[in-house]
Amino acid sequence: MRRLLIAAAVLLAACESEPPRPVVVYVPTEYEERASNWLPESGLAVTVIAGDSSANTDKIIAKQDSPNADVLITSGVFDIWRAADEGAMRPLNSAAFESIPDELKDPESAWVALGQQSSLIGFTESAPDIPIASYADLGSAELAGQLCLTSSDLPANRALIGMLIEDLGLKPAERVVRSWVRNLAQAPFATEAELVDALESGACSGAIISAFPETGALTRIAPGPTYRDIQGIGVTRHAKNSDAGQRLVEWALSESPALEPVNSNGKNIGIAGWRDEDARLLAERAGYR
């Protein structure tokens, strides 16, 4: 009996000395540095796995992620939406989740917006003085040869087109996108940094641009409604450390900047995820690369 008690005590001491299991967080490559520096501030042990947002999501849906993801962060709504749609996410249950506007979280609590990116209209001082109140106005003849866009492959642009389809219908939305293409000064840019360089060089005078980049004398207009994309976050269905994953999501939401209201269409951002394939095909037909 004495030997059994000693063995049990040794085993208990060994268990108590084991470090806590880290929360495995899959993040887009472009968020790796920030996530690696920021998430450990939660006080939880964290392992960050970086990769293409779409590829990360594919692995988690197919249960081919190794190590197994506890938390998924995506660069746009489409990836977090389809992870939930494929049953790869588990419901969140926290006060932090409840505080997020309904437009920016899954109706079944599978994901929530960690951040958002509004698609604004930007103009330089050399732009023609014409009224611009909507994205459709960027197809105006006065802007012929003066418009710059980033690629339709970027999540924010696909979300924008998806919501145009939802609000206007497929054919009217396609007419809008075709009018943008007719007004292009150059082929769409791969990154917003390249687009900003084109604006600053005078290669174009108008653009669809996010609220983030800082650049000279650029006027930003929030059209009505203003469309947006999100960075999504949630706990995976097959998480090995789901309780700690939930705590990490709660902490991240509490530490993130408040999601400022925009003049949106009042519809759940998940619709943009659902419409992503329609948006991709529309952009292809319209010649918007």
Q: Could you say which DSSP state residue 57 is in?
A: H
Amino acid identity for residue 6 in this structure: I
Say how far apart CA 152 and CA 154 lie, in whole Å.
5
The CATH architecture assigned to 20-117+229-258 reads 3-Layer(aba) Sandwich (3.40)
Task: Give residue 128's pLDDT.
Answer: 77
Radius of gyration of the chain (CA): 22
Give pLDDT tens digits along the chain (289 positions): 444 444 444 444 444 556 789 999 999 999 999 999 999 999 999 999 999 999 999 999 999 999 999 999 999 999 999 999 999 999 998 888 888 999 999 999 999 999 999 999 988 887 778 888 899 999 999 999 999 999 999 999 999 999 999 999 999 999 999 999 999 999 999 999 999 899 888 899 999 998 665 655 678 889 989 999 999 999 999 999 999 999 999 999 999 877 777 789 999 999 999 999 999 999 999 999 9
Query: What share of residues in the chain are helix, strand, coil (percent, to 5)?
Result: 45, 20, 35
Q: What's the burial of 2, exposed, middle or buried (CB within 10 Å: 0-12/13-18/19+)?
A: exposed
The CATH architecture assigned to 120-226+274-286 reads 3-Layer(aba) Sandwich (3.40)
Q: Is-same-fold flag (20-117+229-258; 120-226+274-286)?
A: yes
**How many Å separate Cα 31 from the centre of its chain?**
11
Q: What residues does each domain of the chain span?
A: 20-117+229-258, 120-226+274-286
Positions of E strands within the chain: 23-28, 46-51, 71-74, 89-90, 112-118, 120-123, 147-148, 206-209, 219-221, 228-236
pLDDT per residue as tens digits for the range 73-112: 999 999 999 999 999 999 998 888 888 999 999 999 999 9
